[in-house]
Amino acid sequence: MDARAGAQVPADDPDELYRQRDALPQATRAVEIWAERLEANPKNFEAAWKLARGRYWLGTNGLPPPDRKAALEQGMAAARVAATLEPKQPEGHFWLAANMGALAESYGLRQGIKYRGAIKESLERVLAIDPGFQQGSADRALGRWYFKVPGMFGGDDKKSEAYLRKALAYNENSVITRLFLAETLMDEGQRDAAREQLRAALAAPVDPEWAPEDQRFKEQAETLLKKLSK
């Protein structure tokens, strides 16, 4: 957990509250503030995309499992508002894909197939607008898309690997990209190469902006490396 999570923060500063998102009250309050701002001004693009991002966090990490689906669906709604307000900015499209992707991954094959086309389309829009957005996040997400989607619906491990390696060109220290690449390589039968990626993920410095996420992905990388070492 972030060492600052128990520190006092301004009750009306959602950005600072969100930095402490490992603490559920802080994350929840940040989301509430962005929701209030968007309700007060339906054309507030920043509030819309940050609300989508915040609800994604709550839907994937913060809330108890029974409450996560609703958070992700609400995140999709906020992202659609952002994408409509500023269609030539990447944030709305990316967080729409992220929320849909989390729903697809968490709630079964039928949900995944339902959203697969829209997820891919949103990520390709991000690449068309800003290929380097969030250090190659769209390439990484497309790499994950090709890994997770069944082959009969367009999935392809080779394409997954190519997109993930492209994402690493933007940030070679990305813990999540290294972890995802390791999983793809495992699926391809490249166990030694997968171990190399997992070790790199564990050795990578934690990105202060994404510290809660990086810590979780490092834990996953450590678990997977132990499994591969048996």
Q: What is the CATH number of domain 157-230?
A: 1.25.40.10
Q: Give pLDDT, residue 122.
A: 98
d(CA 75, CA 53): 7
pLDDT in tens, 55-68: 999 999 979 988 99
Q: What is the pTM of this model?
A: 0.92
Q: Do domains 1-130 and 157-230 have the same CATH topology?
A: yes
Q: Give pLDDT, residue 59.
A: 96
CATH architecture of 1-130: Alpha Horseshoe (1.25)
Cα–Cα nearest to 102, from 134, 61, 66: 61
Q: Give pLDDT, residue 109.
A: 66
Q: Give pLDDT, residue 111.
A: 67
**Residue ranges of the chain with per-residue pLDDT less than 70:** 1-11, 108-109, 111
CB 119 within 8 A of CB 75: no
Q: Give pLDDT, residue 229.
A: 84
Q: Give pLDDT, residue 107.
A: 75
Q: Give pLDDT, residue 9.
A: 52
Q: What is the largest CA-CA distance in the chain?
A: 56
Q: Parse the chain into domains and list their residue ranges.
A: 1-130, 157-230
Distance of CA 26 to CAs 11, 55, 202, 206, 209, Å? 9, 13, 28, 21, 16
